[in-house]
Amino acid sequence: MKQNHHNYLPDQYKSTDDLKINHNYLKEQFSDSDEIFNEIKTLVRTGDFTLGKVVDEFEIEFSKVTKTKFCVGVGSGTDAIFLSLKALGIEDGDEIITSPYTFYATIGAIVTAGARPVFVDIGYDYNIDVKKIESAITSKTRAIIPVHWSGHLCNMEKINQIATKHNLLVVEDACHAINAERNKYRAGNFSNSACFSMHPLKNLNVWGDGGVIATNSENLYNKLLLYRNHGLINRDICEVFAYNSRLDSIQAIVGKNLLRRIDSITNSRINNANYFDKNLSKIPQITIPQRDKNFKQVFHLYIIRVEQRDELQKYLISNGIDAKIHYPLPMHLQPASKEYGYQEGDFPIAEEISKSIISLPVHEYISKNQQNEVIEKILKFYE
């Protein structure tokens, strides 16, 4: 019998391979990987593949970048959120407040942890509207998960005030936000725990999936060490039956290599975004979100709102420019959310933004000439 393949990703990757200005920059980023391969060869000789010494080294280096006391490497950014919730004591039936404008993983982690997602609309900065959080709190609410969308930090001061008032936990979905700052405090320092992703197209990436949990709580740190590795305190003693979500040693090697370049990566993205802002803000059919000078937004994504979005996207792609939509359908309208009873119109700003946003490549390998080509094509489309 012929095997039926259900992996849609190879076809998706192939569809954008030939675009000359692409969101995918991994070939350029890892074009010279001799150092990484040499370190992997050394690892292969030791056989130190699972939670090896290099994972400890990576976690220490990551802590320095986030300026947090502790970091725990895990299998993915999704696992980082899930394990944080489980280690913090989230139970079946608990409610967690979050944004409907996020990636599916945020909600998936909440649901698989046994909790119910409770959505609150966003503002025009694409982040959760803090003025609407308190009205969503019930006797079952246990936590808030703010999503630092595209590396722009939420209003964490206000969120923490609300959390303290109502005795709630705070877990930052910082999967887009390594190196991001708000009033000179970095993502990871506003919460019980913060969750980072190292998926291949994140600002800090590895050769597959990987994630990190940052925390300033030693108690939570010790729990997370157990929860990511079956609850084992050593080879023979299991303190609590738990999960298998370990950062592989090979991925830690890749992550360490990229950590040395994270400031350069961050600054390149910021400079590229500023160049787009300067030029695209002159086009009346484009709305650029307000940029707060007290924030350091790290632009995992460069997202703007545009008129005739679908037509513009097709036009750019036909001209070799990889324009994407992150994402066309907010979480409360996804088929998976049907059981929660949300309807179209419940979160109007999230819905409005989802119908008008477009993402342009902003990574560190896009040249000024390429950016100018993107700008010229957008100008031509609206002319």
Rounded CA-CA distance 80/295 in Å is 24
Domain count, the chain: 2
On whether residue 68 sits in a domain, the answer given is: yes
On whether residue 179 sits in a domain, the answer given is: yes
* 193-221-94 Cα angle (round to 5): 50
Residue 14: band (very low, low, confident or very high) from pLDDT cuts 50, 70, 90: confident
Name which of 284, 140, 148, 262 is nearest 206 in CA terms.
262
**Do 248 and 321 share a structural domain?**
no
Which of residues 259, 275, 301 is at a domain's end?
Answer: 259
On whether residue 1 sits in a domain, the answer given is: no
On whether residue 295 sits in a domain, the answer given is: yes
pLDDT per residue over 75-106, tens digit each?
Answer: 999 999 999 999 999 999 999 999 999 999 99
On whether residue 40 sits in a domain, the answer given is: yes
Average pLDDT over residues 267-292: 97
**Do 248 and 137 share a structural domain?**
yes
Rounded CA-CA distance 135/156 in Å is 17
Average pLDDT over residues 144-165: 98
On whether residue 3 sits in a domain, the answer given is: no
Average pLDDT over residues 130-137: 98
Q: Give yes or no for residue 4 having a pLDDT over 70.
A: no
Residue 1: band (very low, low, confident or very high) from pLDDT cuts 50, 70, 90: very low
pLDDT per residue over 212-240, tens digit each?
Answer: 999 999 999 999 999 999 999 999 999 99
DSSP character for 290? P
Which of residues 232, 259, 286 is at a domain's end?
Answer: 259
**Do 13 and 41 share a structural domain?**
no
**Do 118 and 245 share a structural domain?**
yes
Stated as kind and residue range, the H or E segment containing 123 is none
In the predicted model, what is the mean pLDDT of the chain? 96
Rounded CA-CA distance 300/269 in Å is 8
On whether residue 4 sits in a domain, the answer given is: no
**Do 92 and 207 share a structural domain?**
yes
On whether residue 2 sits in a domain, the answer given is: no
Q: What is the full DSSP assignment across 254-289?
A: HHHHHHTTHHHHHHHHHHHHHHHHHHHTT-TTEEPP
CATH code, domain carrying 92: 3.40.640.10
**Do 251 and 277 share a structural domain?**
no
With H, G, I as helix, E, B as strand and everything else as coil, classify residue 367: coil
C-alpha distances in Å from residue 139, one per residue of 26, 158, 159, 204, 274: 46, 20, 18, 38, 44
**Do 172 and 42 share a structural domain?**
yes
CATH code, domain carrying 275: 3.90.1150.10
**Do 232 and 112 share a structural domain?**
yes
Asked whether the beta carbons of 154 and 146 are under 8 A apart, the reply is: yes
Which of residues 201, 230, 259 is at a domain's end?
Answer: 259
Q: Which residue has the tokens 């979500």?
A: 245
Stated as kind and residue range, the H or E segment containing 197 is strand 193-197
**Do 141 and 97 share a structural domain?**
yes
Residue 51: band (very low, low, confident or very high) from pLDDT cuts 50, 70, 90: very high
pLDDT per residue over 322-343, tens digit each?
Answer: 999 999 999 999 999 999 999 9
**Do 286 and 227 share a structural domain?**
no
Structural domain for 286, as ranges = 9-29+262-382
**Do 83 and 227 share a structural domain?**
yes
pLDDT at 16: 80
**Do 192 and 96 share a structural domain?**
yes
